[in-house]
Amino acid sequence: MVDPWSMTAVSFVALAITWRGLLCLAPFMKHPLRIVLRGVTNDQVDPSVDVLRATALPVLKHFGIDGESLELKIVRRGMPPGGGGEVIFSCPIRKVLKPIQLTDPGKIKRIRGMAYSVRVSPQMANRIVDSARSILNKFIPDIYIYTDHMKGINSGKSPGFGLSLVAETTNGTFLSAELTSNPQGQGVAVLPEDLGRNCAKLLLEEIYRGGCVDSTNQSLALLFMTLGQQDVSKVLLGPLSPYTIEFLRHLKSFFQIMFKIETKPCGEECKGGDKVLMTCVGIGFSNLSKTLK
């Protein structure tokens, strides 16, 4: 019988609120988390499982949440509106979080991506790759975009296709962008060539924004900085997203903590947008459920 409090095998609909809540709570549970989520894995609103696996997990590792048990595995893909996807998320627990000093994002050294298609022609993914590379090849030569065409029960309940791109820097920063086709029966049909080119341009925009954490995971990094040990943590971010600005207000309400925010104008040498240096002293939160060994 499964212990419901340990959450070792629980099923949820894979929505953004579920992902954000799990990533925030998983390191502080009583037992290591292993959870099955079912539903939509890739849509036009929420961060996809591909982006979370490539960008959110490295953020957790910066705070000492790492190991072989930290894993996000895609079993089935589910496109809206039918869903039908399934992923398995595993995360170890920690008693305390390490402070971080992430002030140098480094330079882009390679770009990786995943072009996926379900219940449509496999050629859709190949057309996406070709169009995305036509843009990105002008920026950097080290590019590899994988194709993922799932069949049968692993393809979910609705047709669709999409692309997720991740740029990695010399200092271990991951910047992401993604686009997905319109859900079946909603909106105008999207050509794979247009989707690939537009997604490539979004990635270049994210690279221009820069920072040591991409805009999708800004709030996650700031939360773990707040919950860290009573030591100074610093992180350099690109322009703060509207979600992050509202999240800072919540941190002040719940934890009575305010960040020191310094604007760092980007000169000619960095070739990017202005950056924001976020500094705080953690509240020293400790996972009392984790027994000492």
Following DSSP, what letter does each residue of 228-240 receive, concatenated?
S-SSEEEEEESSP
Q: Is the peptide bond preceding residue 81 cis, with omega within 30 degrees of 0?
A: yes
- With respect to residue 171, please indicate whether it lies within any of the assigned structural domains: yes
Cβ–Cβ under 8 Å, residues 168 and 174: yes
Amino acid at 224: F
**Three-point CA angle 99, 203, 207, nearest 5°:** 50
Which of 210, 290, 221 has the alpha carbon at shortest distance from 259? Answer: 221
Q: Which pLDDT belongs to residue 185?
A: 86
What count of Cα atoms within 13 Å lies in the side-chain half-sphere of residue 257?
A: 24
User: What is the domain extent for residue 160?
Assistant: 108-209
User: What is the C-alpha separation between 16 and 48, in angstroms, rounded?
Assistant: 9
The residue with tokens 């400790």 is: 286
What is the tens place of the pLDDT at every residue in 167-218?
999 999 999 999 999 998 888 989 999 999 999 999 999 999 999 999 999 9
The residue with tokens 């705070």 is: 63
The H or E element that residue 149 is part of is strand 143-150
- Number of CB atoms found within 10 A of residue 212's CB: 28
The residue with tokens 């990533």 is: 23
- With respect to residue 182, please indicate whether it lies within any of the assigned structural domains: yes
- With respect to residue 290, please indicate whether it lies within any of the assigned structural domains: no
User: What is the C-alpha separation between 252 and 258, in angstroms, rounded?
Assistant: 6
Mean pLDDT to the nearest integer, 102-122: 96
- Percent pLDDT > 90 in the chain is 77
C-alpha Rg value of the chain to the nearest Å: 19
- Number of CB atoms found within 10 A of residue 150's CB: 18
Lowest mean pLDDT among 16-20, 104-108, 239-243, 246-250: 16-20
Q: Per-residue confidence at 13, pLDDT binned at 50, 70, 90?
A: very low
- With respect to residue 157, please indicate whether it lies within any of the assigned structural domains: yes
The domain total for the chain is 1
- With respect to residue 56, please indicate whether it lies within any of the assigned structural domains: no
What is the tens place of the pLDDT at every residue in 18-30?
667 889 999 999 8
Contacts with 220 (C-beta within 8 Å, 6 or more apart), sequence order: 20, 23, 24, 56, 59, 213
Mean pLDDT of the chain: 89
- Number of CB atoms found within 10 A of residue 200's CB: 28
- With respect to residue 289, please indicate whether it lies within any of the assigned structural domains: no
CATH number of the domain residue 131 falls in? 3.30.360.20
- With respect to residue 253, please indicate whether it lies within any of the assigned structural domains: no
- With respect to residue 214, please indicate whether it lies within any of the assigned structural domains: no
